Structure 1
């Protein structure tokens, strides 16, 4: 029998105080299924109690993608009421699990759609030159709600609006993402993980209380606005999303031509 591969891998370096959390579904472009969503929440909660870990790096396995959002094969049963929408991705970020240790993202390849639930809850992003960012929701008849709200707190309004509204027709390069503030550093090719770990190791070397308090303060500056925005998201999604069958039809008929990268 083939060994069972965990969809989330964790490596801890006790000397540096850095843990590397890896999305480990490269064959599915690190798309999030329900098992991965549950494991991510467990990992973040577990790191809260591990005092040997003082900083975290989040990355994706393989070269093609950091994460491509929720796996399209996942079926999430929904209540009939627009006031009670279930979104498993709301539980996958570190802040959602009350983790206030700094998390640095290392992105290689595609980061799109539901990947922004993760990137939106990281302190900063280091990108490989191959990294590209986009959101396919509008192309397939879906509302980009939580993704837009999280990125609106990190990027200029016009840049977020263009990314979300252009759907699959455009992708933002690592260079452009750096120019607009989504990415803090563009590494040499293949060097994003190393660069992110280097930053995390520096942060982990500082007194933990001051670091964690700073992370909490930074998030406090954002969370009131996000909480108000998130309260509107379920209704917007319920009103604006096409039926699942129509979304699937649009996905099957998607344009295979190469998107514009800017």
Structure 2
């Protein structure tokens, strides 16, 4: 029986993905390709609405690239599979919410993986860093993402020095949403996932596409693209049964029943 470093569990409309690769949950090429398949299947499955990504054990979320695998011949710039490194960073059309439950050390490519999620919850003992500077490499995805997520000078300090920050500081700079005890982390992640899974999936899809596409656009250009019906997910929403259901539920003073169509 072949060992699979990625464990998945479906809970209704929620997919839980656990990176379980002792001792540290580092990602090699084979693991990245599996993750790409998992998140592609999640993207394409109409019954799944929300994903949670976490690490196995209590010490590591993910330290990023497996340096031991690299020493054994894995190419740093090899074929990471669908979605790029970790399956999330470059996965096109992923218009569903993803929650990262950071259960421990989260650094390098592991931090880049967490930053690819939409919501980040962290255990109170979690820690974060971009130590690539110490090995003479570039945290490429983090160099693009982090200065847009937290204050520029803090992001640059992390990139330039590789210094570690704890969960409290990460929350202070807005890198993560919430801090929970290690024992409560997954329960809180599931609570958040269930809340999102009960919401309107077509609206989430529209939000994610607009946010993603408008990131490098001027405000008015993005608004013009919406009014000219150039966002596919927005147009799908406005032609959907769910759009009508939302209006009916409001008028009838009841909770809407979202079908995602």
Q: Same fold (TM over 0.5)?
A: yes
Query: Distance in 2 between the 1:105 and 1:141 partners?
Result: 28
Task: Show the 5 A alignment for 1:93-104.
Answer: 93-94=87-88, 96-98=90-92, 99-104=94-99
**3-state SS in 1 of match to 2:215:** helix
2:86 to 92, 100, 114: 92
Q: TM-score, normalised by structure 1?
A: 0.75
Larger relative CO (CA 8 A, sep 6+): 1 or 2? 1
Query: Comparing 36-45 with 140-149, which one deviates more in the overlay?
Result: 140-149
Query: Distance in 1 between the 2:165 and 2:79 partners?
Result: 26
**3-state SS in 2 of match to 1:56:** strand
- Asked if the contact 2:127/2:164 (under 8 Å) is kept, the reply is yes
Shift of 1:161: 1.1
Q: Which residue of 2 aligns with 1:24?
A: 20
1:39 equivalent to 2:37? Answer: no
| Count of residues in correspondence between the two structures | 212
Q: Could you say if the C-alpha distance between residues 189 and 109 of structure 1 is closer, same or farther in structure 2, counting changes exceeding 3 Å?
A: same
Q: Could you say if the C-alpha distance between residues 145 and 96 of structure 1 is closer, same or farther in structure 2, counting changes exceeding 3 Å?
A: closer
Shift of 1:119: 1.6
Query: Distance in 1 between the 2:75 and 2:27 partners?
Result: 16
Q: Which residue of 1 aligns with 2:56?
A: 61
**3-state SS in 2 of match to 1:96:** coil
Query: Distance in 2 between the 1:203 and 1:61 partners?
Result: 23
| Deviations 1:118-159, CA, capped at 9 Å, x for gaps | 122110100000100001111122223222212122111111
Query: Distance in 2 between the 1:181 and 1:159 partners?
Result: 11
Shift of 1:211: 1.4
Q: Which residue of 1 aligns with 2:9?
A: 11
Query: Distance in 2 between the 1:160 and 1:44 partners?
Result: 28
Query: Distance in 2 between the 1:222 and 1:96 partners?
Result: 15
Unaligned runs of 5+ in 2: 219-261
Q: Which residue of 1 aligns with 2:236?
A: none
Query: Distance in 2 between the 1:191 and 1:149 partners?
Result: 32
Task: Show the 5 A alignment for 1:46-195.
Answer: 46-72=41-67, 73-74=69-70, 75-77=73-75, 86=78, 88=80, 90-94=84-88, 96-98=90-92, 99-167=94-162, 170-195=163-188
2:193 to 200, 213, 228: 200
Q: TM-score, normalised by structure 2?
A: 0.75
Unaligned runs of 5+ in 1: 79-84, 226-262
- Asked if the contact 1:23/1:61 (under 8 Å) is kept, the reply is yes
Instruction: Name the Cα RMSD after superposition.
Output: 2.1
Shift of 1:97: 2.1
Q: Which residue of 1 aligns with 2:211?
A: 218
Query: Distance in 2 between the 1:59 and 1:117 partners?
Result: 13
Q: Could you say if the C-alpha distance between residues 77 and 65 of structure 1 is closer, same or farther in structure 2, counting changes exceeding 3 Å?
A: closer
Q: Could you say if the C-alpha distance between residues 105 and 39 of structure 1 is closer, same or farther in structure 2, counting changes exceeding 3 Å?
A: same
| Deviations 1:58-113, CA, capped at 9 Å, x for gaps | 101011110001100223448xxxxxx65738342435222211001000110000
Q: Highest CA radius of gyration, 1 or 2?
A: 2
